[in-house]
Amino acid sequence: MEKKKLKVVFMGTPDFAVPSLKALVESGFQVPLVITQPDKPAGRGKKLKPPPVKTVAEKLGIEVLQPERIKENAELKEKLRAIKPDLIVVAAYGKILPRWLLDLPRFGTVNVHASLLPEYRGASPIQAALLDGKEETGVTIMKVIPELDAGPIIAQEKVKIEPEDNAQTLHDKLSELGAKLLVETLPRYVKGELKPVEQDDSKATYCKQITKEMGKIDWKESARKIFNAVRAFTPWPSAYTFYKGKRVKITSAEPVEGSGRPGEVIKADRELVVACGKGALKIKRLRPEGKKEISGEEFIRGYRVKEGDLFGES
């Protein structure tokens, strides 16, 4: 079946989903409807802010629906039945979808997931890969079933995780890769050239929702583990510690050799190095509370840091 004859309803909410929506439209798929989460309060003024997918869909001239609930939504069901989509494509929509919706399209519902399933099912696969110090990850195009990220795999593609990658750079790589793989996969899938393969549930791993509290650095941990946390929690919720009672966000670091009390500054010349439970962490970039991001050297000069000072004491 030709792309231009395939009718796709798209469901997605954050920035991760935007490249997939754009790729579908640019590749010639019919996208008559986008479903996304409701606008949410944001910023100090708590003004309602539309999801990134809504903003892009409106620019593309696509109708947008933002239902509060889907499971018992008769109006939405009627709307989708009238459209008669060949496929529903989901990319980081943000809610578990009911069986009636999954089964409504002729070719079912497919999802773009930011891991090599069955590894890292759940809400934070990008951060989980970084926290675990993985050297590669990837994207999966899968059929959606009611169980969380457990549907049969249609296609996968790997990507290398570079030492300098953080959650933002890896997010951007995977969102673009997912979009590319999606538009390459769908025509072959509907033609029957790609047969979905069941996941091996015995190899499944799961990742939790990321919270602000997870960003607090425990200097008793190894330098490697703290380094992975800095990468995983940049830009949000940020890996943070305290120096002289003030919160400091660490945005770039590198594990190095060294020893001392956990949290102790063991080098404070042109480099800022802090001892960990095992090894030490060279802090390259950091952001003091209420200030702009600066280098480790700038922090040493501006805050008169000296060897023997302690990080971690609030």
Cα–Cα dist 148/118, whole Å:
10
φ/ψ region of 209 (left if φ > 0, alpha if ψ in -120 to 50, else beta) reads beta
Cα–Cα dist 122/232, whole Å:
16
Residue 21 labelled as part of a binding site: no
Token pair belonging to 45: 């003024």
Q: DSSP secondary structure string, 221-258?
A: SBHHHHHHHHHHTTTTT-EEEEETTEEEEEEEEEEES-
Residue 238 labelled as part of a binding site: no
200 touches 136 (CB < 8 A) = no
Residue 115 labelled as part of a binding site: yes
- Helix axes 167-190 and 18-26, enclosed angle (nearest 10): 40
Torsion, Cα 76 36 53 184, to 10 degrees, reads -70
CA distances from 255 to 55, 97, 294 (A): 40, 42, 19
Q: In one letter, which amino acid is 95?
A: K
Q: What's the sign of the alpha-carbon dihedral 220, 221, 222, 226?
A: negative
165 touches 129 (CB < 8 A) = no
Residue 182 labelled as part of a binding site: no
What residues form the annotated binding site? 115-118
What residues form the annotated binding site for (6S)-5,6,7,8-tetrahydrofolate? 115-118
